[in-house]
Amino acid sequence: MNLLVATDRSFDSCLKCTACSSSCPVAAVLPDFPGPKQCGPDGERLRLKSRDFLDVALKYCTGCKRCEVACPSDVQISDIIAQAKVKYGEDKFRLREFLLSHTDLMGALTRGSADLVNKLTGTSVVKFAMDKTLGIDRRRQFPAYARQSFRSWYKQVEEKQHIYARQISYFHGCYVNFNAPELGQDLVTVLNAMDIGVKLLAKEKCCGVPLVANGFHKKARSHAEFNTRACHTALKQGSECIVSTSSSCAHMLREDYPAMLGQSEQQVHEHIIFITRFLSHEFQLGNKPEMKPVRLKVGYHSPCHLIRSRGVLHTLNILREIPGLELHQLDSNCCGIAGTYGFKKENYTTSQEIGQPLFDQIEAGEFDYIVTDCETCKMQIEMSTSLQVLHPVTLLAMGMSRGK
């Protein structure tokens, strides 16, 4: 996302074909959203003339990037819209945006009081209060905070990691650290089984996805600088690469940091890899852990940003290697949550309407589990359907521990 660089001129190559508008999940459910063509290339032309042309409807865009995937002419539509929101929009500081976007801070604050926070955010009183005072929709379920953070669990296995000849670093992100340490544990299991040791960065900050989405650009940039330095050090100290189990963090670190920080650190960013891409390459080279059959019927949901960063192939590749697994690819359909977007009261209905076809398909499919790479997709699907959602790495780990 070229948020902090000069104006993107890619709108000049727009062919007016409307392919983008036909694939926009928001336009499909919101009659008053003019759609990517009008908000992106068409609107930009006008906005360059006068900011009076700024359309308030821009705020409905979720940044899913499905328009960019559809565009035959490589117009960076979603980036143009995101830029316009920053450049011409009011920079309001709002508590809700602050709370939703400072995922690392929130995680740190709840440390030691996870049970209490989980209970509180689950109660209707608190939900009602958040709804009324903050504009966070009360129908939302919040991700539960774990009692022990991933980092503190990791200390138990840190010593053992040195016995492996190969070392890689893991950018766990806020979600694994505070909400889903078991996913991080599964990753260690899988990589160790492949004879690879797992290190953590000396320290990491939130990748910045929620900060950018909520308008905290300066902060996002400072996080980008911090994380880039940490990755750089890790590489110097012998890590082959840095992997992430979150498709959004990985996209941010790999694709968006270079644009935010300039190309100088590109070599660092090229070494940041989404986990299924790493595993798919290893498997292909013959480094595949032994797995027992996992006799489950699962539906795979591809997150929008993973589609955009061309990662669907890699996830399918590794899932197809799990013996016994009955794998069905779900229709490519946005789940509607789009990070923090769906948490906001004004977006709740839109968010659920966008996801409805996906939820229907999931309920009809008689699956044991749904599999997806993204933590916010997981939250959305678990809240809106009766199924539990697993990460691909967790399924791999299941194949290793079965029958042990």
Partner 1 sequence: MNYDCLVIGGGLAGLTTGIRCAEAGLNVAVISSGESALTFSSGEIDVLGTDLSGRAVQNPFTALESLVQHQPDHPYAHVGTGNVAKSLDWFQREIAEAGLPMVTSGGLWDNHWRLTAAGALRPSWLSQQSAGALPWGLENIQRVVFVSFTGFLDFMPELAAAGLKTHPVFQQAEVQSLNIELPLEHGRGATADTMRAPQLARAIGESDVELICTRLLEQVNDADLVALPACLSAGRKNWLTVLRRRTGLRLVEVATMPPSVPGIRMLSALKRRLTAVGGFMIPAMPVITGDVSYGHVASVQTPDDELHAKQYVLASGSFFSKGLKSHAAGEISEPVFGLDIDVPETLSGQSFLVPEGHGFNRAGVRVNVQLQPSLNGTVIENLHVAGSVLAGYDPVIEGSGGGVAISTGWMAANEVIKKVALP
Binding site for ligand SF4 (CB under 6 A): 14-20, 24, 26, 36-37, 39-41, 61-67, 70-71, 73, 75, 77-78, 81
Q: What is the DSSP string of 279-334?
A: HHHHHHTT----------EEEE---HHHHHTT-HHHHHHHHHTSTT-EEEEPP---
Q: Tell me how crowded residue 236 is: count the other CB atoms within 10 A of its CB.
A: 9
- Contact between 371 and partner 1 (CB under 8 A)? no
How far apart, in whole angstroms, are the C-alpha atoms of residue 307 and residue 317? 14
Q: Which amino acid is at 379?
A: M
Least gap, CB of 8 to ligand SF4 (angstroms): 12
How far apart, in whole angstroms, are the C-alpha atoms of residue 139 and residue 119? 15
Q: How many residues sit close enough to partner 1 to count as binding (CB under 8 A)?
A: 41
Nearest to ligand SF4 of 17, 109 (CB atom): 17
Adjacent-strand bridge partners of 244:
171, 274
Least gap, CB of 209 to partner 1 (angstroms): 19
Q: Which two tokens stand for residue 38?
A: 């009008």
Least gap, CB of 304 to partner 1 (angstroms): 10
Burial annotation 132-156 (CB, 10 A radius, 16+ → b, else e): eebbbbeebebbbbbeebbbebbee
Choose, by CB under 8 A, the member of 329, 356, 388, 401 that binds partner 1. 329
- Which of the residues 284 through 323 are near partner 1 (CB under 8 A)? 284, 302, 307-308, 310, 312-314, 316-317, 320-321
Least gap, CB of 317 to partner 1 (angstroms): 5
Name the segment binding partner 1 (CB under 8 A); options: 63-71, 102-110, 336-344, 366-374: 63-71
How far apart, in whole angstroms, are the C-alpha atoms of residue 321 and residue 398? 13
Nearest to ligand SF4 of 70, 126 (CB atom): 70
Residues at the site binding partner 1, with contacts judged by CB under 8 A: 17-19, 21-23, 27-35, 38, 69-72, 277, 280-281, 283-284, 302, 307-308, 310, 312-314, 316-317, 320-321, 328-332
